Structure 1
Amino acid sequence: MINIILDGKRMEMKDGSLLKDLVPQLSPNFSVAIIKPSESSEVTTGSFRIVTDEGEVTIELEDKRAPTAVRELLISLFEKKELLPMKIKWDDRYSASFGPFSSKIRPDKNAHRYSKGDLILGCGGYDPGNSYLIFSRADHIADHGSDKSGGIVGKVVSGLGVLGRWKKGSLITDSERIISRIETGNSFTTKDRSLPLEDGMEVVSRLEISATGFNEDAIDPTGSASVEHMLHALSKEKFEVNLKSSTFISDERLKDSIVPYEIKNPRLKGNVTVRTSGRKAGSVYIYLKDLPSSPSHTTTGRIEHGLELAKLASEGDRLHVVVTPPQIDLRGMRIKDAITAAKKREILIDYDDDSPDRIVVEQTPPTTMGILSEGKVSVRTVSEGHVINIRLEDEKAPRTCRIFRELTGLRWYNIGSLPLIFKYDDVALFKPKIPQKITINLENLPKDEVPANSLAITNDSRKGKGLIGIRRNPNREFGPTSEPFEGTNILGTVLDPEKLDSLKENETIYFKEESG
């Protein structure tokens, strides 16, 4: 048998086991991090593994902010284990404290700002002889009896979820200094499931992200719009590494999106942000090193597990990511399924019609954090006859399909819409609002004949640029927007064209993508 660590959990595997035996459920498209044990000399780090009765937490001491005396105190507490086991003294939704013990801090009797995961050295009654280690469970402002610096002496870098499980009677039972034995040359990412497993190997298979403002006890919807963008970008549990630098990795699949600047925070190692301005606005970033805050980046989350995977990832890697909370997007669902989904999340749902053929097209509040904050959601539905199912041809017309999704809203939601402006014979025409910056270059022009039930958009070669059309019958002369072939970009196929018969001009028509 060989010993393997998978996502922080020790496991025993049979000799000769392969990577596929360790992660059989993981999609072969996802890369995992492989960290092999090194024969190099051990390096003592500034991190400690804290064992509690509710799980393990890893903390990293602040080299710059923690004075030498404070670092020595923490090392004494956690390496020499002089005061263990240490019992929780008090806790609330914002923090949990362990102690007491004696220290030499000088409390300044002022409130300070703290972020989720901060480790604080403070005291009760401004008495250093009654000092505590305080773990911040959520962003907050408080007077913890710290010194003038605020008392932040470390950061929880793994196990943030454990903080929320501590309760009266919880104990820190053990601790150990983390010794670094890993060399970059022995660490890499791979999709090769035939890789042989080796004794002592560590495998990191996923990223775990906690959304900004989310806490089991309370929801802060301040950053709800930008957090929603992140939730949508990662809703398929995939982070695609489009760009890698020494300080971050980024997923640019939703770049060119409009995202508001809502939460200003330093871009600390492990923070997740969304860019709000510039050419790459809408891209999701994971930071690998500490950087100052930026007016172009709004904070949307924090890595709770898997930062090693992000550090080792290369451009082109696809990483499995799990975000808490999952996105709540009922749009595009049948009302029956929407009701079931809401009840599963313990959300009250109000709806206008529960007939079996109704499809949800709008939800209020529109964001996940807004819904969780209120504990309820209201939805508007339309009959299934007003929802046209389509299949887009991304391989043949990638740019045109992207433009269509932007114009209809399908790029950000599970259902999109367009106004039906004209219908005659076998043609239906839709006129979206075209932003000036959009150019519709010639792409996937018809040859010989336009197939029946084709969906197309007029390109920049014609005055009617941006007009979208559906043609029910094949045609050898004109495309779905009644333009000649050179002015027509074919972008997909309508799967249920019979619905067009009952639709009327000036109605809003909804579109939903089907796969396969």
Structure 2
Amino acid sequence: MLIKVNGKEIDVAEGSTIQDVIDETNAPYTPGSIICLIKGKKELEKNITKYKIKTTKGSIIIELVEDEEAQPIVDVWKNQYEEFVDLSIRWSTSTEVAIGPIVTDLEPTHDEFKYYDGDVVLSLSSFSNESTHLILLKENTTNVYSVPPFNKGIFAHIIGGKKTLHELTDDDVITSIEPIIERSTTTDSASVSDLSTVLEQGNEIFTYIAFEIDDKSPICVEHLFSIIKDNRIKVNFDSNSFVGFYELEGIDKPKEDTTQRARGTITIRNAGSGVGRMYVYRENRVLIPDHTTVGKITAGMEIIDIAKKDDFITVKSEQQRLLLLGKSQEEASKILAEAGVEHVREGVTDDEALIVEQSPRHTIDIINEGKVVTKAINPNELCEIEFVDNAPRSVKYFKLISGLLENPVGKIKIHFAVPGMHITIFEGDKKLAKGLVPENNPVDVVNECEIGITNMASKTAGLIGVRFEPNREFGPTAESFNATNIIGKMVKNTDGLEDLKEGVVVYVRESMS
């Protein structure tokens, strides 16, 4: 049986499930993500109200009328519009443009009617259904178009491309007619996560979204890449006009490229409430300076249209992210060679050394410069942290301060260290620490290598600390237990850490073990 997978028609065995088809076609899909299932072309097109008529002079957009009286003609159009493709302009006058002929089952009338600029009519020329023409009105007129007995033959109105209409001559050709897919078109489609669902003839599935990046927004594009985890993104909000992804809300981003927010546009909020949020638009919206454009959906808008809060969506970028942090120098060299980018090693240059900094930091800048410098350290110098689950605000604060919210490797700078005190305190940010309410306060004892953050109960809120021996009186930042939030524990590569001096940068990453 024939079905479509991500827009491509394939022949599969009867009784095939979604999982079977994904395996057979190797379609991009991350387990746990939603899939859009459309029962068939007719199911999709029954909701379509707009069509783009492409000609050798440009495009004309028509919108179907909603009058019940016009429904028989609308049905004929939906069933036969493709027959007008490759036909020439039959005639062009000061009043109208005619395209055709095709054969229909319509019956003509002999009545004269008043028509208006922008009306779209099916006309049975010479009172014959074998000479059915598409008439596009340029101006008001009264005429006998031998139309069918429904709504004066009017089934649509021109809503775009009137300049093109006036330029058409009988030398021009209809090159294609495309249904315009809008959110309302796919709202009847099913969101499916059960991969054992059996498919039927004519079904269409979409397993992922793809996007192209806006190379005028290098910093915010990197923010977009950071929101994608394990090749998928989680929906935090959905409305009629957009889908919101708030994973990295609160991270300041600059104003870069700003454009009209057309359907499929991806933006990052760069100012005001919700800074750092990402939006994908289901409907057109005007340009506003608080939204930086970072890309555009190129495939899978059907999934965006049906996605709901807490859904996961599989994502595929047309541009590979050149994030090298946490990789070995050898791994980075291979990645950059494939991308045609020169690799300059600094710090520890051995193949197995782990990269902790890169310059340029952003993918677009790396591509533009054609070169990247990576600084690496020995693997045993990269501290690993195991975070707790019951201090979400404090953990997010630490990840924001260190850079771990957006990158696999972060860094923290030593603020205070005295040999022999078995404690190291790192710099924080008082402004960002304003929301650090008490959570996961220590009880009885702070254990060796536990990491704590001073909460709002103290004037030094935001400081980060670690103790290298147990303490029953004070937390890792030398504060009382009630002013201390425990966020986790350093579980690897802590040797020599308490001997480091003020101003030294310590590189960290989250433990995956």
Residue 379 (str. 1) matches residue 378 (str. 2): no
CA contact (8 A) 2:359 2:372 kept: yes
State the one-letter code of the partner of 1:514. Answer: S
Alpha-carbon deviation of 1:151? 7.3
Aligned partner of 1:488 among 478, 481, 484? 484
CA spacing shift, 1:21–1:488, aligned 2, 3 Å: same
The reply to whether residue 4 of structure 1 matches residue 6 of structure 2 is no
Question: Is 1:256 aligned to residue 250 of structure 2?
Answer: yes
Aligned to 1:113: none
Deviation, 1:152, is 8.7
Output the CA distance in 2 between the equivalents of 1:150 and 1:378.
Answer: 53
Distance 2:325 2:45 in 1: 56
User: Shift of residue 184 of structure 1?
Assistant: 5.3
Mapped to 1, the partners of 2:378 and 2:308 lie a distance apart of 46
Q: 1:256 to 1:184 in 2, by over 3 A?
A: same
Contact 1:78 1:176 in 2 (8 A): no
CA distance in 2, matches of 1:415, 1:44: 47
* Aligned 8 A contact 1:442 1:489 in 2: yes
Q: Which residue of 2 aligns with 1:450?
A: 446
- What do residues 469-499 of structure 1 show as CA deviations (whole Å, max 9, x unaligned)? 1123333333222333222211111122224
How far did residue 348 of structure 1 move?
0.3
Q: Distance in 1 between matches of 2:44 and 2:32?
A: 33
Measured in 2, the distance between the counterparts of 1:194 and 1:203 equals 13
SS in 2 for 1:200: coil
Do the aligned partners of residues 184 and 387 (structure 1) sit closer, same or farther apart at CA in structure 2, a change above 3 Å counting? Answer: closer
* Residue 36 (structure 1) aligned to one of 26, 34, 39: 39
Does 2:456 correspond to 1:460?
Answer: yes
Counterpart selection for 1:403 from 394, 397, 407: 397
1:63-82 equivalences under 5 Å are: 63=62, 79-82=84-87
Cα gap change, 1:63/1:503 in structure 2, threshold over 3 Å: closer, same or farther? farther
What residue in structure 2 maps to residue 504 of structure 1?
501
1:16 partner amino acid: G
In structure 1, the residue matched to 2:143 is: none
Q: How big is the shift at 1:230?
A: 1.5
SS of residue paired to 1:438: helix
From 322, 326, 335, the equivalent of 2:320 is 326
Q: Could you tell me the percent identity over the aligned residues?
A: 26
After TM superposition, give the deviation of residue 327 of structure 1 in Å: 1.4
- How far has the Cα of 1:200 moved from its partner? 1.6
SS at match of 2:366: helix
**Quick one: structure 1 residues 342 and 19, their matched pair in 2 at CA, closer, same or farther if it must change by over 3 Å?**
same
Task: Label 1:438 to 1:49 Cα distance change in 2 as closer, same or farther (>3 A).
Answer: farther
| SS of alignment partner, residue 352 of structure 1 | strand
How far apart in 2 are the matches of 1:345 and 1:78?
45
Deviations 1:179-214 (A, max 9, x none): 99x97574121222232222221111111000013x
Q: Which residue of 1 aligns with 2:385?
A: 390
How many pairs align? 410
* Cα deviations by residue, 1:102-150 (Å, 9 ceiling, x for unpaired): 9999xxxxxxxxxxxxxxxxxxxxxxxxxxxxxxxxxxxxxxxxxxx99
* Aligned equivalents of 1:208, 1:415: Cα separation in 2: 26
Q: 1-side partners of 2:305 and 2:267: how far apart?
A: 16
Q: Which residue does the alignment assign to 2:406? A: 412
Aligned pair in 2 of structure 1 residues 8, 449: CA closer, same or farther (>3 Å)?
same
Q: CA deviation at 1:33?
A: 0.9
Contact 1:408 1:432 in 2 (8 A): no
> Comparing 431-440 with 482-491, which one deviates more in the overlay?
431-440
TM-score scaled to structure 2, two decimals? 0.71
8 Å CA contact 2:252, 2:270 repeated in 1: yes
CA distance in 1, matches of 2:295, 2:44: 35
SS state at 1:505 partner: coil
Residue correspondence of structure 1 range 77-116 to structure 2 within 5 A? 79-82=84-87
CA contact (8 A) 1:347 1:375 kept: yes
Contact residue 328 and residue 355 of structure 2 kept, 8 A = yes
C-alpha separation in 2, matches of 1:465 and 1:198: 60
Change (3 A) 1:357 1:205: closer
Could you tell me whether the CA contact under 8 Å between 2:449 and 2:467 is conserved in 1?
yes
Match of 1:211 among 213, 217, 226: 213
Matched with 1:231 is: 225
Deviation at 1:39, TM superposition (A): 6.6
Match of 1:269 in 2: 263
Cα 1:60–1:396 change in 2 (3 A) is farther
- What residue is the counterpart of 2:72 in the other structure? none
Name the CA distance, whole Å, in 2 between partners of 1:327 and 1:151. 42
Q: Verify: 1:193 aligned to 2:195, yes or no.
A: yes
Question: Residue 281 of structure 1: CA displacement?
Answer: 1.2
2:117 is matched with: none
- Structure 1 residue 21: deviation in Å? 2.1
Tell me, yes or no, if the aligned pair for 2:412 and 2:507 is still in contact at 8 Å: yes
CA distance in structure 2 between the aligned counterparts of 1:270 and 1:488, rounded to whole angstroms: 45
Match 1:427 to one of 423, 428, 433: 423
What letter matches 1:414 in structure 2?
Answer: P
- Aligned residues of 1:35 and 1:187 also touching (Cα < 8 A): yes
1:242 has 2:242 as partner:
no
Q: Distance in 2 between matches of 1:279 and 1:197?
A: 44
Question: Secondary structure at the residue paired with 1:33?
Answer: strand
C-alpha separation between the residues in 2 aligned to 1:282 and 1:381? 29
User: Partner residue of 1:441?
Assistant: 437
Larger radius of gyration: 2
Of the three residues 457, 461, 465, the one matched with 1:469 is 465
- Matched residue, 1:18: 17
Taking the aligned partners of 1:15 and 1:183, their CA distance within structure 2 comes to 28
Aligned match of 2:510 = 513
CA shift, 1:326, in A, is 1.9
| Between 344-353 and 431-440, the greater mean CA deviation after superposition | 431-440
Task: State the Cα deviation string for residues 313-332 of structure 1 (Å, max 9, x = none).
Answer: 11111101111212111123
**Distance verdict in 2 for CA 1:224–1:179, change over 3 Å:** closer
Q: Is the 8 A contact 1:388 1:499 kept in 2?
A: no
Stretch deviating more after TM superposition (259-268 or 29-38): 29-38
Contact 2:402 2:410 in 1 (8 A): yes
CA deviation string 1:266-303 (max 9, x = no partner): 11011111111122111111111111111111111111
Unaligned residue ranges in structure 1 (runs of 5+) = 51-58, 65-74, 84-101, 106-148, 154-171, 214-221
